Amino acid sequence: MTMRLNPFAYGLLAVVLFLGVIYVSKAAGVWNTSHRVTASGEQITVDVSDVDTVKGWMTFEDVSKAFGIPPAEIFAAMKLPADTPPSKRLKDVMHANRMEVDDLRDWLKKRGAGDT
Amino acid sequence: MGVQLGAIRRRPKGLAALWNVQNFRYLVQAGFLATVVVMAVRHALVPESVVNSPPSPEAYCPFGGIETLYHWITTGKYIHHATSSSLIVLGGVLLGSLALKSSFCGWICPFGTFQEALTGITRFLERRFRAVARLAKTLKARTRGLEVVDRYLRWGKYLMLAYFLYGTILAARMVFRPYDPYITALNITEATLGPGLVILIATVVLSFFTERPWCKYLCPLSPIVGLVGKLASVKIERTSTYCKDCAICSVACPMNLPVATASRITAVDCNDCLKCVDVCPRTGALDLTLRWPWSKPLVSAER
């Protein structure tokens, strides 16, 4: 079977298919766009056994509290200004100092392994 | 009353002429682009520390799904900057490619739309000012010899895909992110001078001279969409019986594909914008068709 397709119908179908997948996943409860909460709505917090749970929106206070490391030690290790407010988001401070949050995660990993 | 195949297509006039496939496509594209821009602005204005803060439009990027796929399969977790939405959007894109070829690139991708809009400015200026039209013509004539370079440069996107896929699997993080002009554009308020910003500026500048430079040469998602799209039963098909070889379709193609000499457009680079189908002056000469692998073409008689 070979048939001609209406280009309008083609475009409409493309949109319906794309948005349909998103809609179905939302209805199924598996859709999640947040780094703060899981798809089931649970709050994401730092898990000390997994440094990958450290997120850019978290503050230095959050990390300090979770891992029991004084903010000053984090600032010194990451070569950040000592007067950085610990209440600032990791992402903002790291980017302002031309670093990524991954650099902090790497340091935390190494520290956990006793390398520092 | 049936339409005579091979006859000159009658184009509507006046306001009715506005209702055509390309304007419909621009409308769809504008809708997706506007949604992403609104999301980016809302995300930039509301701090992420606020509960229920608006999602980043990055969460809707299908390439994030590609990057996190291996990590998700092997560990059940997502790499940073990816969420379940990244995988779901990727699923939507792949499903769309399987059914409708590269419809995502030509109709939905906001970065493709952004590039098309920039090229549209040049086209507008060409129509409006003779000097610009002359300059564009001269530039085109002078760069004709670069077609070979263009052919080789198109392999760049495959290299990009291989390199960043391998790097992401190895490092379990989004190694492509700092180079991604789309992500840089979405987070423009946080952008610092780096490869992403340089590539974004280069894409913006090149878009004034050539259509969709990022898609043609470097986008690592386009080979995936194009290759999966090869399995689709929907194709653009040229029926040589009705075609008068005017080659207007090849001129209209933003990806510079030789539509006028092909019988079926199976090229990975085709983004299914349907500009070729739209400009074709003959009824039945160039159509979007649904054909199963075992089916015969619409008209098997060749000239």
B297 closest CB neighbour out of A2, A5, A57: A2
C-alpha B132/C-alpha A101 separation (Å) is: 47
Query: Of B217, B147, B134, B145, nearest to B181 (Cα)?
Result: B217
- pLDDT band (50, 70, 90) for residue B48: low
Which amino acid, one-letter code, is at B25?
Answer: R
Using an 8 Å CB-CB cutoff, list chain A residues near B296: 2
CB contact under 8 A, A10 and B234: yes
Burial (Cβ within 10 Å: 0-12, 13-18, ≥19) of residue B302: exposed
The answer to whether residues B247 and B275 touch, using CB atoms and an 8 Å cutoff, is no
The tokens of B216 are what? Answer: 């043609």
Q: Coil, strand, or helix at residue B289?
A: strand
Residues 181-220 of B with CB under 8 A from A: 190, 192
What pLDDT score was predicted for residue A98? 83
Query: Tokens at residue B5, please?
Result: 């195949």
In this structure, are residues A11 and B22 in contact, taking their beta carbons and an 8 Å threshold?
A: no
On whether any CB of chain A is under 8 Å from the CB of B295, the answer is: yes
Contact of B272 with B107, CB cutoff 8 Å: yes
pLDDT digits (tens, 9 = 90+) for B97-112: 999 999 999 999 999 9
Residue B229 burial (10 A CB sphere; 0-12, 13-18, 19+): buried
- Residue A4: which of B107, B288, B295 has the nearest Cβ? B288
> Quick one: pLDDT at residue A99?
86
In this structure, which amino acid lies at residue A20? G
Say yes or no for a CB contact (<8 Å) between B192 and A59. Answer: no
Determine whether the interchain pair B92/A7 forms a contact, defined as Cβ–Cβ distance below 8 Å.
no
pTM of the model: 0.84
Contact A56 B53 (CB under 8 A): no
Of A7, A56, A57, the CB nearest to B288: A7
CA distance B238 to chain A (A): 12
Helix (H) or strand (E) segment spanning residue B287: strand B286-291
- Interchain proximity B292–A59, CB inside 8 Å: no
Q: How confident is the model at residue B17 (pLDDT cuts 50, 70, 90)?
A: confident
Q: Which residues pair with B8 in a beta bridge?
A: B282
| Mutation for B interface: A34, A45, A59, A100, most B CBs within 10 A | A34
Express each pLDDT in B236-295 by its tens digit.
999 988 898 899 999 999 999 999 999 889 899 999 999 999 999 998 899 999 987 777
CA–CA min distance B224, chain A (Å)? 16
Reported as a single tens digit per residue, the pLDDT across A20-44 is 999 999 999 899 887 777 666 677 7
Complex-level ipTM: 0.89
> Do the chains contact at A11 and B104, CB–CB below 8 Å?
no
